[in-house]
Structure 1
Amino acid sequence: MPQAEKVAHLADYADTAERQPLLALRGISKTFGTVKALDDLGVAIRPGEFITVVGPSGCGKSTLFNIVAGLEEPDAGGSLAFLGKPSRARDLLGRVAFMPQRDLLLPWRTVIDNAILAVELEGVRRADARRQALAMLPEFGLTGFEQRYPHELSGGMRQRVALMRTFMFKRDLMLLDEPFGALDALTRSMMQRWLLDVWQKHRRTILFITHDVDEALFLGDRVMVMTARPGRVKLEQPVNLPRPRRPEIVTSPEFIALKRTLLDAIEEESMKSFTTSDKPAGTA
């Protein structure tokens, strides 16, 4: 093969690899007894993307996360591919980093020892894990707090420790389930900007659940709006806003127009869930 053709071939291969989804879900459904939580859900997530997920309460966001984390198997009939290979949900257990809503810090462990917990459980020597964590403390805003205990930290600092633990568990895909939901508005805004700085440095792929539309738009490359139960994807809204995202972008006409689109979609689905819950038993 001539050199020019070889270079072009390699470039095409690299471009194809970059565009190949890290995670692809097709026709995913999940039923618990008589309740159908998800129905024919499909989404593809590319490497390095920051995808935010919004939707009415009870739409199956947490069920989706549990499937992607390998904690729940979907119903038969759908397909799941990870890194281009067909997989079962259970194959993803331990291959995806998952941070739930609560920080789940162990009260008897210091900041540094909470941060290294996941890698320590993987078999990394404690001394080596601590060295790695100490090098990461500055970018997580925790310098000088390595020997503090969880009860000595603010809510924002506890979340930074939990996120550091998640980042140290080096996985291609990170699932963040409303990590800032319990924080006050000012701390939440600061944490959002801090998270984007860390994400842009490490470029991990992130799937992020939130109930806050402003947060979804400010953080995401795409916002995935889910329908009322049974959950499926109603809308995938690209967020073509410049990065790095500045705080003032939330008052720009472009941001406000995107917010209106998302709010309309969510309100429509929320009304459906109210209508369904108001129906007498036995009605269709």
Structure 2
Amino acid sequence: MDDPTPEVADQEAPSSGIAKAQPEVGPPLVEMVNVWKRFGQGAGETVALAGVDLAIQPGEFVTLIGPSGCGKSTLFNMIAGLTDTDSDGSVVFKNKPQRDGELLGKVSFMPQKDLLFAWRTVLDNATLALEIEGVPRAKARARAEAMFPEFGLAGFEKHYPHQLSGGMRQRVALMRTFLFERELMLLDEPFGALDALTRAMMQRWLLEIWEKHRRTVLFITHDIDEAIFLGDKVVVMTARPGRIKTVETIDLPRPRGAEVITSPEFIEIKRRLLGIVEEESLKSFASAGAS
């Protein structure tokens, strides 16, 4: 088993290649402190996450990238309250350590698939989380109907999921996530299955919605362009066991339009992050080949 208390170097110590997130002003909304996650035991043990330290400030849009299998989804599930951390560390939410599923219900999250119910209308899919919380159906519907124009779904309230395009289905799923009204939203590759044009449109639309509501967002993606375009910060994870490799602050002006992706600043950030991710991806391939 890996040593549960490894030394994680600061950015000033390049020999390790691992960098902790830099301190922020004010208390974070959510913080991961020396988080570990192991699956299995003995010779069959897999270390998914090792000593993860990450702080997310209120109102930030943080994007998370890294090679396949680096533990992004495991980290996501921990912050969602679906998976507990190992005893080495903790997830801290609003200055309180969370254990044993305590985060469940305190954050809103959207997995990779939209998970819309085929037998429910778009309106009834959007209100599902509110109904589970005990909001009366009429009140839940009124709150959802008020958001349909903002989410580009006006006129589709009585449609069923099979009658919608992929982008519209994702809008319904995102509206359901927004209606849950939690300070922290976790989005796990919500645009990964969309075609390039629809994906670009959805990215710009999501930023418009976020800038209006200013929820705190952690957004997982495999797309470096998407990570840079959306994020205030891009967090890069190492190959498994996942650690925080670097945290890049994105000093690009907001609001961001399509033109930003051709700017010299964007291209330079992408060049830098692509090199880091490719380095970790090669380590992941080498590890898989040796096993």
Task: Tell me the TM-score normalized by structure 2.
Answer: 0.89
Any gaps of 5 or more consecutive residues in structure 1?
Answer: 1-16
Tell me the SS of whatever aligns to 1:138.
coil
In the aligned structure 2, how far is the partner of 1:77 from the partner of 1:197? 39
Q: 1:174-210, CA deviations, whole angstroms, 9 ceiling, x for partnerless residues?
A: 0000000000000000000000000000000000000
Partner of 2:14: none
2:203/2:230 contact within 8 Å kept: yes
1:48 to 59, 65, 69: 59
1:235 aligns with 2:235: no
Aligned to 2:36: 29
Per-residue CA distance 1:112-154 (angstroms, 9 max, x = gap) = 1000000111000000011001110011000000000000000
Q: Does 1:135 align with 2:142?
A: no
Q: Which residue of structure 1 aligns with residue 224 of structure 2?
A: 213
Structure ranking higher in helix proportion: 1
Partner of 2:197: 186
Q: What one-letter code is carried by the residue in structure 2 that aligns with 1:29?
A: W
1:77 aligns with 2:88: yes
Contact map agreement 1:217 1:239 (CA 8 A) in 2: yes
Question: 1:18 Cα deviation (Å)?
Answer: 7.6
What SS class does the counterpart of residue 92 from structure 1 fall into? Answer: coil
- Offset from partner CA, 1:252-280 (integer Å, 9 cap, x none): 0000000011101101100111111122x
Q: CA RMSD in A?
A: 1.1
Task: Detail structure 1 runs of 4+ shifted over 2 Å in the superposition.
Answer: none
In structure 1, give the amino acid aligned to 2:275.
D
Matches within 5 A, 1:138-153: 138-153=149-164
Unaligned stretches of 5+ in structure 2? 1-23
Instruction: Render the CA deviation track for 1:237-257: whole Å, top value 9, x for unaligned.
Output: 000000000101000000000
SS at match of 1:208: strand
Match of residue 210 from structure 2: 199
Deviation at 1:37, TM superposition (A): 0.3
Once the 2 structures are TM-superposed, how far is the Cα of residue 89 of structure 1 from its aligned partner?
5.4
Alignment-derived partner of residue 119 in structure 1: 130
Q: Which has the larger radius of gyration?
A: 1
Q: Provide the rounded CA distance (Å) in 2 between the counterparts of 1:80 and 1:98.
A: 16
TM-score by length of 1: 0.91
